[in-house]
Amino acid sequence: MTTGETVVMLVLVVGLAITGWICIYKAEALAARQRRQYEKYAFVRFNPFSVMVTKSWYPMYLRVSGVLIWLWDVTLVYLLWFRKPPQ
């Protein structure tokens, strides 16, 4: 892997880690922000899945999504940096 590819993958891995952290630890604030957007803008409500933010289980959905993002991140790290390519 070249230096440029390594830098791009490092940015991707760090971005996924931060996104997962926000989904897990800031789920209530994120859900409240998305609920305000749902109430404020009419074009947001046209999305068929936008009603999901009004449900009581939405913060838990964000937390589970954050865990899945972290698992995907760990998988990428393993596949890109620790697994030896076949020769």
With tokens 């020769």, the residue in question is 87
Please give the DSSP secondary-structure letter assigned to residue 84. Answer: P
Residue ranges covered by each domain of the chain: 26-82
Give the SS3 label for residue 16: helix
- The per-residue pLDDT for range 3-50, each reduced to its tens digit, is 888 899 999 999 999 999 999 999 999 999 999 999 998 888 888 888
Tell me the two tokens of residue 44.
Answer: 């947001």
- The per-residue pLDDT for range 75-86, each reduced to its tens digit, is 999 988 888 777
Query: What is the rounded CA–CA span in Å between residue 33 and residue 61?
Result: 15
Residue-level pLDDT at 17? 96
Tell me the two tokens of residue 79.
Answer: 């596949």
pTM: 0.82
